Amino acid sequence: MQAQEPDDSAIAALVAETTRQAEATVPSPAAVESLPLFNRELSWLEFNRRVLAEADDANVPLLERVKFLSICANNLDEFFMIRVGALRDVVAAIAETPTADLEQLDAIRHKSRRLLDHIYRCLSEGLVPPLRKENIRIERVADLGKRERGLIEEYFTRNVEPILTPLAVDPSHPFPFIANLALNLGILLESPRGEVHFVILKIPESLPRFITVGEKWRYVLVEDVISSHIGRFFPGMRLRRSAPFRVIRNSDISIKEDDVQDLLKSMESELRRRERQEIVWLEIESTADESLVQLLTKSTASRANEVFLAPGPLKLGDVKQLYDEIDVPALKDKPFNPRIPAQLATSEDIFSIIRRGDFLLHRPYESFTTVIELVQTAAEDPDVVAIKQTLYRTDVGSPIVEALATAASLGKQVTAVVELQARFDEKKNISWAKQLEQAGVQVVYGLFGMKTHCKACLVIRREGRELRRYVHLSTGNYNALTARIYNDIDFFTCDPDFGADTAQLMNLLTGFSTAGVQELIDAQPLEMKWHDFVVAPMDYHRWTLDMIARETSNAKEGKPARIVAKMNALVDATVIAALYRASRAGVKIQLIVRGICCLVPGLQGFSESIEVISIVDRFLEHSRIFRFENGGKPEFYISSGDWMPRNFYRRVETTWPVRSEPLVRRLEDRILPVSLADNAKSWVLRSDGKYERRKTDGPAVRSQETFIAIARAEAVTLGPYEEIVRKPGSFRRKAKKKKKDR
């Protein structure tokens, strides 16, 4: 029986009712306080410390360590912009601020300072000395020889000086607006009469942060170059002191329901407002004297506990430039090109392969090009009549976006559900969404108040007298760049029930996307049936609790009971409470949680049978996989969403079962066991909230390297990844030839 496709008001009513029911299950503050839980923000800082540990590890190739330092620094910037910014908003909105909120902010700032100190110590003591041994040097302009200073002066004159604009600060010139994350110089000058003048100079983002000096891999910082030539702008003045500084602004976006007439215009307006939000963190290089620090602190309206004096260069995320520019294979991980599974190395078209049976891709070990080929083939196949796809984050010049535009130009019915609220990708998404509209694609701009986070593509193809639905679902984005560095699962099927569920999901996303929150709240509930999908915000939270409760009941009855769950974050208090109950009943629970984990493992009376590990390695662990023992008949599910309140209540997510025997065996015998066995790049969460490297007496198991070895052994090598991405179907012909040659 086909699933019914409800109308707009019915869908709106369903979401309103299920969201209301789900949120009603959230424990009261008193109930949450009684649960042993780690603080979410402090847990995230612990995760970033694990990222930094890769930069500290001498066993990691040197330039990979530089990359991890960059990732850690960028992560911390985002943490201040979003999490600290949101917490400050909460504190500011409450007239009598609870002591707990203030204490949390103080704890976050304290721990962030310690992490920043660790980052700079890692740079100066852990990275700079071995980089020098490899003749990779970051010099000061003052220490250069005469010839090198001449080269720098020439570079400054030609490439830097023309685009600089010093801004005086005096009674006639108020303190200028300081852009979020931008690098600036604060300059104190003294006139011949002894008067002190204050000048701000923004360093253009178009300039490289590291400027080469003569020899290969010898660099100076752009702010040092500018500071060394600042006298050109102020003849007759004496430079007393200059120091780099930058601000981090609250970048959390909040669109009010009453303001929304057009989500696209509202988002564009909110992005402009975000650029001018309040400052939550001020960083000044420690070379600044006290008077300059006080002047910058006062001028930016920063509090003393929000100022950090950095013992080195600011904005350390920019060290990624060194990783990108220096091509020394010995200083990086061994290169790996994603493989095409041998089962796909055939001359058959992608639709014929899917009809043979469901299959999985395990990214980045297996190539994203199969996903691209599905959309590109669908765009050009005369039998395909419609394509419907969600787009959360994608890459510049995306072959997926190009294929959708091509399909529309060929007269196919093409619908793209574009999430405008994908954090920090908003501007990019707005840009290419407009391009899709101009190409004739029906673009739906997500749902107000709820992010469309599920990843789904539905292709409708005429075959004989029938229409067949082909479905792709994923834990990761339709992004060819991140597909090479994120660990994700792709699922392909033409199962009629999956097709019906995906069609219903797309109708849900497009059918009430313009409805406001109040309309949803006032609407009447309607029951919606799904064949296989578990969909947030309607069912995901309830389903998760039901599955845990089933294992709990089985354990009490003496049946086999076990839960294995791999995800990015575990935060929801009711789910954690259910896991505690399951543990007390005797359920063995193994959790692979990359980032935030608020559950306390190994705690007497709560979680003795719960183990939590985190894997941090060259690829970002991003997939969500759940295994429930089910009394000896294990069930497997894959999901786009973590176990967090936002994924349960404020995002559209999909969770789906894996029933095909070959795929079940792959998850059961390979993917989950290898991840659980990792003892080289995994960390164990202790009951005190600290993580420690996993220890073992047996042989070392590095899960990601194991998956690479498996992919190499079982798949076909096709050559440069970038070439394959752009040529739909070409890899299939190459694969067939290589397989024949073997």
Catalytic machinery residues:
453
Extract the tokens encoding 606: 């709560």
Cross-strand pairs, 535: 654
299 alpha-carbon distance from chain centroid: 34
Closest by Cα among 643, 650, 608 to 626: 643
**C-alpha span between 208 and 229 (Å, rounded):** 17
**C-alpha span between 78 and 317 (Å, rounded):** 11
| Cis peptide bond N-terminal to 364, omega within 30 | yes
| Cis peptide bond N-terminal to 537, omega within 30 | yes
Extract the tokens encoding 742: 């073997």
Q: Strand locations in 445-533, DSSP E? A: 451-452, 455-463, 466-474, 486-493
Closest by Cα among 81, 67, 212, 68 to 148: 212
Instruction: Work out the angle at residue 502's Cα, subtended by the Cα atoms of residues 500 and 508, and round it to the nearest 5 degrees.
Output: 105
Extract the tokens encoding 217: 């891999």
**C-alpha span between 80 and 248 (Å, rounded):** 7
Q: Which helix (H) or strand (E) holds 653?
A: strand 651-658
Q: Which helix (H) or strand (E) holds 282?
A: strand 279-285
**C-alpha span between 550 and 635 (Å, rounded):** 12
Instruction: Work out the angle at residue 112's Cα, subtended by the Cα atoms of residues 119 and 591, and round it to the nearest 5 degrees.
Output: 90
Cross-strand pairs, 386: 413, 460
Rg (CA), the chain: 28
Extract the tokens encoding 615: 């894997």
Angle separating helix axes 99-121 and 62-79, nearest 10 degrees: 160
**C-alpha span between 675 and 412 (Å, rounded):** 42
Cβ burial of 271 (10 Å; 0-12, 13-18, 19+) is middle
Residue by residue, DSSP assigns 32-62 as HHHS-B--HHHHHHHHHHHHHHHHH-TTS-H
**C-alpha span between 342 and 73 (Å, rounded):** 40
**C-alpha span between 742 and 727 (Å, rounded):** 23
**28, 385, 543, 597, 656 from 576: Cα distances, Å:** 14, 45, 14, 10, 22
**DSSP secondary-structure letter at 696?**
-
Closest by Cα among 483, 328, 471 to 393: 483
**DSSP secondary-structure letter at 95?**
S
**C-alpha span between 597 and 571 (Å, rounded):** 6
Instruction: Work out the angle at residue 217's Cα, subtended by the Cα atoms of residues 212 and 222, and round it to the nearest 5 degrees.
Output: 30
- Taking the CB of residue 551, how many other CB atoms lie within 10 A of it? 26
Instruction: Work out the angle at residue 170's Cα, subtended by the Cα atoms of residues 169 and 176, and round it to the nearest 5 degrees.
Output: 35
Between strands 384-391 and 562-567, the pairing is: unpaired
